[in-house]
Amino acid sequence: MMPQRITIVGGGTAGWMAANLLAHHWREQPIDITLVESPDIGIIGVGEGSTPSLKRFFEDLGISESQWMSRCKATYKVNIQFSGWSPNSGVHSYSHPFISQLDTFSERPFQVNCYTRRLGLDVQTDPAKFLFNGWLAKHNLQPNTPEHFPFNIEYGYHFDSGLLGQFLCEHSQTLGVKHLQRKIEHINQHPDGSIASLQCDNGEMIDGDMFVDCTGFQSLLLQKTLNVPFNSFKDNLFNDAAVVFPTHTDDNQPVETKATALSNGWAWRIPLTHRTGNGYVFSRDFITPDQAEHEFRQHLGLLDSDIEARHLQMNVGQVSQHWYKNCIGLGLSQGFIEPLEATALHLVQTSVERFIDEYEAGHFSNKRQDNYNKIMTDTFERVRDYIVAHYKLNTRDDSEYWIANRNNEHISRPLLELLDVWFRRGDLTQHLREHGSESHFNATSWHCLLSGYGAYPPLALNQPGTGDLYIDNDLESFFRRCLLNFGTSLNG
């Protein structure tokens, strides 16, 4: 039953990640993998921040950082710093650090302190103080684990997505992937509706047993040809557009992404070695693209600059079936949950890994398709809930956009229940464990978000002045000693 030919359509980051993972996994099998892309259509060319799963992606492929990072102008990312999302709670900015092995010592004290603070007691609850990557970000230190240091440090990357695609394209050739530059003009189907072949603009026909749709937002195979419906998340994620500008590199490049709330959305700032990526993600229901561009130029100090902006539109949501007949969708063609927290490539990687597991478990048939679809739908929904919480919990009053986000009642039951547990002073960690909803964002990440937003009751009148585990466990001194093992930022 093993497929002889897997055909991937699309050479954006999703297509090339898929080509490498599939070809690497089945390197001993007689499976031909072909990737076809149209240079005339091109790639979306944004998507420059990752989660730590990209580190595992390269490790699994046996590619070292020295091989790819300088080629892709990459920098390290240990943290996301959120500014201006919850000013009325008194928190100007907070960090969501990636969680490392070292944090085993401090995660529990952090969660207990958050609980104590929910009881009204004045204890330390700043996530960046409890998680080692918060310290690395503050001191702008490289996250590579020194050889003698007994704990692994988790981190992600910032990179140029075009260069990453080129790098992965080259690497896939070493794994035997066939690369064709053609535009697909028509898709031929078998009588049962499954995909038979792809017709190229030069008249050539490309066959396949299994097809992977990586054609970006247009979702040529899965949505356009197989008519798989798209379930929009628009009722709880309002953003549907972005305006993007590159600027010069920062003198002292941070090892973190900055996510700053603006009047009708938020702006990212991503440091690469050759430039800084900037984008303003907004909702066209509340601000026009021209207004957003003007505001963003002002924010970046580029009002008098003739630097050209790129405007993009986004479909936020997911397909109702990520695998249908003999086709799976990956990347933007399967769905997108907006760029906050930079989860898109993580979802591509998870999808490919899951697909491999389910496809093999079903002996290369569609037997496990329903299981795969359920897992991917849940994964997308739980990631979405984490992102939605950033909007729901905001305390800004400067625009209808932020007020509408805060008042929005279209939020999922799992998210409602989770917030209920938090505000009723329940055990959030236990709740997430019991509901199996840790997904990509675990209990500590949820504590970072809720604590970072200052989602706490007012302080009690009487303060015992004891019971602060940050002080009792002497965590500051512990982290300061750990910091001595790490060097300054590559580009600092």
Ligand X SMILES: Cc1cc2nc3c(=O)[nH]c(=O)nc-3n(C[C@H](O)[C@H](O)[C@H](O)COP(=O)(O)OP(=O)(O)OC[C@H]3O[C@@H](n4cnc5c(N)ncnc54)[C@H](O)[C@@H]3O)c2cc1C
Give the range of 35-43, 133-141, 454-462, 474-482 binding ligand X by CB under 6 A.
35-43
User: Strand 205-207 to strand 241-247: parallel, antiparallel, or no bridges (unpaired)?
Assistant: unpaired
Strands (E), 119-233: 156-158, 178-181, 184-189, 195-200, 205-207, 210-213, 230-232
Degrees (nearest 5) of the Cα angle 454, 460, 465? 95
Q: In this structure, are residues 169 and 148 in contact, taking their beta carbons and an 8 Å threshold?
A: no
Choice between 36 and 153, CB closer to ligand X: 36
User: Does residue 339 touch ligand X according to CB under 6 A?
Assistant: yes
User: Does residue 317 touch ligand X according to CB under 6 A?
Assistant: no
Question: What are 291's two structure tokens?
Answer: 């207004």
- Subset of 250-279 contacting ligand X (CB under 6 A): 279
Rounded to a whole number of angstroms, the minimum distance from the CB of residue 332 to ligand X is: 4
Choice between 206 and 421, CB closer to ligand X: 206
CA distance to 81, 102, 448, per residue, from 95 (Å)? 4, 17, 7
User: Does residue 335 touch ligand X according to CB under 6 A?
Assistant: no
- Subset of 180-239 contacting ligand X (CB under 6 A): 183-184, 214-216, 218, 220
**CA atoms of 118 and 423, how far apart (whole Å):** 8
| Residues facing residue 246 across a β-bridge | 277
Give the range of 37-45, 134-142, 229-237, 404-412 binding ligand X by CB under 6 A.
37-45
Choice between 36 and 376, CB closer to ligand X: 36
Cβ atoms < 10 Å from Cβ of 386: 22
**CA atoms of 318 and 340, how far apart (whole Å):** 16
Choice between 8 and 91, CB closer to ligand X: 8
User: Does residue 312 touch ligand X according to CB under 6 A?
Assistant: yes
Give the range of 34-42, 121-129, 448-456, 465-473 binding ligand X by CB under 6 A.
34-42
Choice between 43 and 443, CB closer to ligand X: 43
Interacting residue with ligand X among 24, 32, 41, 246 (CB under 6 A): 41
Give the range of 148-156, 327-335, 426-434, 479-487 binding ligand X by CB under 6 A.
327-335
Choice between 85 and 110, CB closer to ligand X: 85
Cβ atoms < 10 Å from Cβ of 173: 12
Site string for ligand X, 429-458 (x = CB under 6 A): ------------------------------
Interacting residue with ligand X among 11, 97, 208, 254 (CB under 6 A): 11
CA distance to 127, 155, 382, 450, per residue, from 430 (Å)? 19, 26, 17, 16
Question: What are 134's two structure tokens?
Answer: 């918060």
Site string for ligand X, 91-130 (x = CB under 6 A): ----------------------------------------
Rounded to a whole number of angstroms, the minimum distance from the CB of residue 267 to ligand X is: 11
DSSP codes of every residue in 113-131: HHHHHHTT------HHHHS
Q: In this structure, are residues 220 and 184 in contact, taking their beta carbons and an 8 Å threshold?
A: yes
User: What is the rounded end-to-end Cα distance, in angstroms, of the chain?
Assistant: 54
DSSP state of 189: E
- Subset of 342-371 contacting ligand X (CB under 6 A): 342, 344-345
User: Does residue 44 touch ligand X according to CB under 6 A?
Assistant: yes
Q: Where along the sequence are the contacts to ligand X (CB under 6 A)?
A: 9-15, 36-38, 41-44, 46-50, 161, 183-184, 214-216, 218, 220, 242, 279, 281, 312, 314, 331-333, 339, 342, 344-345
